[in-house]
Amino acid sequence: MGSFSVWHWLIVLAVVLLLFGGGGKIPKLMKDMGSGINAFKKGLKEEEKKKAEAESETPKAIKSDEATTADASSSESESETEKKAANG
């Protein structure tokens, strides 16, 4: 329990090399991580834009013949009702 195993020492060595390895490795890692996040956000915005364009380009549905004949028959019945009301 008191001693570290080989894996523990390798992890400690990796952390020490990462922190004190020189050459500004941590700032480079953070810069790469930030640019990756920005690229991800840009990709999401482009995807939303493409989706919105696709939705606006979809053609509108044309009313079926049944709906237009029903509208025509209802307007005819209304005009007949108006004529009957006018004639008494």
d(CA 39, CA 32): 10
- The residue among 25 and 76 whose pLDDT is bigger is 25
Task: For 20-54, write each residue's pLDDT tens digit.
Answer: 776 677 788 889 999 999 999 999 999 999 888 88
**Exposure b/e, 2-14, CB count within 10 A at least 16 = b:** eeeeeeeeeeeee
d(CA 73, CA 65): 12
Task: For 62-71, write each residue's pLDDT tens digit.
Answer: 777 655 555 5
Asked if 52 contacts 45 with a C-beta cutoff of 8 angstroms, the reply is no
- Residue 79: predicted pLDDT: 65
